[in-house]
Amino acid sequence: MLKRVRQFIRGMFASLSENDYTFIADYLTKPEFALFRTMSRYDQKHALNVAGYLAENGAGTPLVRAGLLHDIGKAECPELTLVRRSVAVFLEWQAPQEAVVLAERGRGKLARAMAVHRDHPALGAARLETMNVDAYIVTLVRWHQNGEASAEAAADLERLRAADELF
């Protein structure tokens, strides 16, 4: 939980530089880049940190691309503000059953934020499929939070999850 508080504070001051966008554009196609830019600044910075860390530690292009795109399911969701996502994390932690009910049957901005917060791996994977993104990257995005992907993806998935935890 303390980590979440730290993330929240960091998120309020997130910003990206020209150099950051140059790095991102090196790895993403134009449509992917355009979609990336629709994420909140906070999510863009987080994805950049994850991908940058992976690149610095010798990851190949597919894994770096997965790092940039892993939370793309949170794009185009203005309801997913820092405050609402903090509420989502808190409820999922303290009242998991109520969190499920709210995400699935609730109405309003908090319910939408909670549904996207929970389902963003599947939402992101589905979105990337429509853009003909490589199936391997779609797999990494789909399973980046939990669950088991193919044996082929297991090692990269572990690296992606570890990097995701760091930022």
Single out the segment in contact with Fe ion by CB under 5 A; choices: 20-28, 70-78, 84-92, 100-108: 70-78
Q: Which is nearer to Fe ion, 49 or 91 (CB)?
A: 49
Return left, alpha or beta for 58; rule: phi > 0 is left, psi -120 to 50 is alpha, else beta. left
By CB under 5 A, how many residues form the interface with Fe ion?
A: 2
**Between residue 72 and residue 101, which ones bind Fe ion under the rule CB under 5 A?**
none
Q: Which residues, 6 or more positions from 105, have their beta carbon under 8 angstroms from its beta carbon?
A: 111
164 binds Fe ion (CB under 5 A): yes
Any alpha helices (H) in 106-150, and if so which ranges? 108-130, 135-142
Return left, alpha or beta for 29; rule: phi > 0 is left, psi -120 to 50 is alpha, else beta. beta
Least Å distance between CB 147 and Fe ion? 12
Least Å distance between CB 70 and Fe ion? 5
The Cα angle at residue 54 between residues 53 and 57, in degrees rounded to 5: 90
Least Å distance between CB 61 and Fe ion? 19
Least Å distance between CB 67 and Fe ion? 9
Q: Which residue has the tokens 């790095």?
A: 23
Q: Which is nearer to Fe ion, 13 or 107 (CB)?
A: 13
Alpha-carbon span 131 to 133, nearest angstrom: 6
Least Å distance between CB 136 and Fe ion? 18
Output DSSP code: residue 147: S
Start-to-end Cα distance in the chain: 14
43 binds Fe ion (CB under 5 A): no
Q: Which is nearer to Fe ion, 15 or 107 (CB)?
A: 15
- Member of 44, 64, 65, 71 binding Fe ion (CB under 5 A): 71
Q: Which residues bind Fe ion (CB under 5 A)?
A: 71, 164
